[in-house]
Amino acid sequence: MDKERVVKPGNGYLMLAVGIVLVLLSAWMLYLGASGDNLWFLVPFFVLVLVGSLALAGLFIVNPNDAKVLVLFGSYAGTVKQNGFCWANPFYVKKKVTLRARNLNGEKIKVNDKTGNPIEIAAVLVWQVADTFRASFDVDNYEHYVNVQSEAAVRHLAGSYPYDTFGEHDEETLTLRGGGDRVSEVLERELSERFDRAGVRVIEARLTHLAYAPEIAEAMLRRQQATAVVAARTQIVEGAVGMVELALARLEAKHTVQLDEERKAAMVSNLLVVLCSESSTTPVINTGTLYQ
């Protein structure tokens, strides 16, 4: 048997009444035997006490979103998920397993990403027991198993993807910093594969902390800033070139002014300086002629 089997327990209230009746009958037999000085009452007395005790010993309670795993002399007998006041074989060992959703807030761990940069990463996951048999018998302690395997999965995730590409790869490259929901899906899938042995289901997994390690954080921040500046300047230059081309084309189309190659080069230079400069330019008005 390698999977959970749900069983239906007996009615606890009925067996409680039976146990009380048997205990009362045993007390009545004791009273009759003691008043008549006869030893014959001892046999039914002990039988009633034994049966009544067994009937009461089999009573147990299953709370909402809890389950009881039943084991009889080392053999799995089934799992009770029905809530309420129940009764089962008094020789069953009844192990409680909660089916509630639980949070695991992982600690920050330092690992290397795919490119070898040291980073700090942490994740939070929501999980619950889906198979009580596997959670109880396939692993030693399923809560400890979840803690260890979740850390292992986060370490493996961090080592499988770069923190950021800084424009060195195409935009389709999955990164920890820019992956968002895709990274969460990869993490959930790996956790599900790891937790399947323990009968645990992953409800949600998210990264809660992601940053460069302190020893390289300042250098990587400068690198990010430089990359952002280069990207911004590239876009500015592309826009400026387009505007210069449009200006020359409009001037030639409307025959507003005739410019030779030298004057066009000067105009292009001046426009690019104006459009690409980080600070406002100060215009100089030429009151003379363009030609000497």
Residue 31 pLDDT: 72
Query: Encoding tokens for residue 197?
Result: 């042995």
What residues are paired with 124 via a beta bridge? Answer: 105, 206
Residue 94 pLDDT: 93
**CB contact at 8 A, 205 and 186:** no
**pLDDT tens figures, 182-229:** 899 999 999 999 999 999 999 999 999 888 877 765 666 766 666 677
- In 3D, which of 106, 120, 63, 118 has the Cα closest to residue 86? 63
Query: Residue 116 carries which DSSP code?
Result: S
Query: Residue 198 carries which DSSP code?
Result: G
User: 1-5, 137-141, 155-159 — which is least confidently predicted?
Assistant: 1-5
**pLDDT tens figures, 75-94:** 999 999 999 999 999 999 99
Angle at 220 between CA 219 and CA 224, to 5 degrees: 120
| CB within 8 Å of 145: residues ≥ 6 apart | 139, 195, 197, 198, 200
- In 3D, which of 51, 53, 50, 48 has the Cα closest to residue 30? 48
- Token look-up 């940053």 returns 211
Share the mean pLDDT of the chain. 82
- In 3D, which of 16, 101, 10 has the Cα closest to residue 62? 10
Task: Render the burial of 92-110: b for 16+ CB within 10 Å, e for the rest.
Answer: bebeebeeeeeebebeeee
What's the pLDDT band for 52 if we cut at 50, 70, 90?
Answer: confident
Distance, CA of 170 to CA of 174 (rounded, Å): 9
**pLDDT tens figures, 96-122:** 999 999 999 988 999 888 888 888 899
Residue 77 pLDDT: 92
Percent over 90 (pLDDT), the chain: 38
Please, what are the domains in the chain?
Answer: 10-97 (no CATH), 102-212 (3.30.479.30), 223-276 (no CATH)
Distance from the Cα of residue 236 to its chain's centroid: 41
**CB contact at 8 A, 264 and 248:** yes
Between 54 and 257, residue with greater pLDDT:
54
